[in-house]
Amino acid sequence: MRSDIIKKGCQRAPNRALIYGTGVSKNQMDAPFIGICSSFTDLIPGHSGMRILERFAEKGIHTGGGQAFIFSVPGVCDGISMGHSGMRYSLPSRDAIADIIECVVNAHSLDGVLFITNCDKITPGMLMAAARLNVPSIFVTAGPMMSGNYRMKRRDFITDSFEAASKAATGEIDEDEITNMEMTACPGEGACQGLFTANTMACLTEVMGMSMPGCATAMAGMAKKRRIAFDSGVRLVSLVKEDIKPLDIMNEKAFRNAIKADLALGGSTNTTLHLPAIAYEAGINLNLDSFDVLSKETPHITSLLPGGKYFMEDFEFAGGVPAVMKSLENHLEDNITVSGMTVKEICKAAENYDEDIIRPVDNPYHKEGGIAVLRGNIAPGGSVIKQSAVQPDMMIFTGTAKTFNSEEDAMAAIMGGVIKNGDIVVIRYEGPKGGPGMREMLAPTAAIMGLGLTKVALITDGRFSGGTRGPCVGHISPEAAEGGMIALVKDDDKITINIPERRIHLEVSNEELEKRRADFTAPAPKAASGYLAKYAKGVSSAGDGAIFKRDK
């Protein structure tokens, strides 16, 4: 076993002494040493219930014949960090988490790792670590949050807090109403209730084969989730004994399956950052073109929040990820999974209990997948939009640019009534390097929706929350801080967004753009010290997944 290096032979007496100091019995010294990597924290609803999952995972590991050791990694809540400078730390935390896990697992020569995760950057950070380390691993995502309820109407975090905030600011709802909304929007533990980034990544983790069937949508706090944690612990010990490693599972087939499922679900655009970053750690080249090619042949078959009408609990009760896989069976490639079942075996065993929540591929909500990749003079390196959340009359749109060099300036203009129907809000210097950290623009997009500005688009070199809906184009590459064309846009320029043709174009002549380029002076970096300054120096373009490339 991998752990033999710290526990076998007379020279390891000091090592064993320290291990015995933790309470490990002599009999267990020969068992596989299994890490439980938990992102428990009281700071995040999606993670606040993980202590009990740790217990059940630990029981499962010991039942399977292993010795469990719990260690922790930090978590950043995108919702709490949203709309201020704290959001700059969200995406960078993904890479910090992967590095922390590498340090702990390799320093202690663990034989396997059970990952307990849930939210936006933590799940991909853990998957990056699993691929990098290639030690037998299994994932337990902690589950979606149940819907809230106020005045006998189901409530969710995005609509009933972010968009309600805009209505409160304009006097459409009063202080008591916004207070009641915010107190019922998040009724307890779990990841936010729609197919936002956290739940999207949980679903893709299951499709890739790194978690047990049914794990992604098993609701937070439910007995089913505890049973999955227990079963995952038992199964991981078998994976160690069988020497089945992440790279045996996370191969090219698994990533193609994940992209297809993402497109069929209408998942978060953040997956165009996370899947390439995980693939990079697995030694697989994955780029934006993969998403666009597959989007044209993969139908969108669910109607989940934020662009649709159903909650994650509805998705769970309809059959969850296995039911989606069943609908997509002819689109998916067979592969092994941590469960011991193959992809095709999971498809055949699944049941779909509601064909409106999860439609068959011959009756989709949209003929194409949820994500589209747009290119043009303003985004030669690509940009992304969740096309499944765009109204039909905004699929082709030409608008007037209103430019802002930060999210805060854009928010002030939106809330101040500066933005009108027919405008395109341009937010720049919020990319991986320029932000630094590539902040999510949920607050501006939710404000636009909350104010009823249905003929306004937003483009940015930053990114969007999985909760964003409407004609919002993110990940503009190259970003402004790299000298990208988005830095040269001026107020009142015309910009055309054409989703069917996959095109985004700044309607300014090449001669004028060359003149602007000659006169252009980049602003000073926003972070001069600390982790964010270090991050800005090493991170790649959003078009590559905003990752650290070791061959740079």
Annotated binding residues for Mg(2+), written as ranges, equal 78, 120-121, 440
Angular region, 461: left φ>0, alpha ψ -120 to 50, beta rest = alpha
Distance of CA 361 to the CA centre of its chain: 25
Taking the C-alpha atoms of residue 123 and residue 135, their distance in angstroms, rounded to an integer, is 17
**Which active-site residues does the annotation give?**
465
Q: First CA to last CA across the chain, in angstroms?
A: 34
Any alpha helices (H) in 108-222, and if so which ranges?
122-133, 164-169, 175-184, 197-208
In DSSP terms, 115 is beta-bridged to 37, 139
Q: Using CA atoms of 300, 302, 305, 306 in order, give the dihedral in degrees to the nearest 10.
A: 10
The residues facing 399 across adjacent strands are: 495
Rounded CA separation 335/318 (Å)? 24
Q: What secondary structure, in 3-state letters, does 421-437 show?
A: CCEEEEECCCCCCCCCC
Q: Residue 125: phi, psi to the nearest 5?
A: -60, -40
**In this structure, is the dihedral angle defined by the CA atoms of residues 262, 268, 273 and 274, taken in order, positive or negative?**
negative
Q: Residue 70's CB: how many other CB atoms inside 10 A?
A: 16
Collapsed DSSP state (helix, strand, coil) of residue 521:
coil
Q: Which residues are annotated as a binding site?
A: 78, 120-121, 440
DSSP conformational letter for 336: B
Helices (H), 493-549: 510-519, 530-538
CA distance 288 to 64: 41
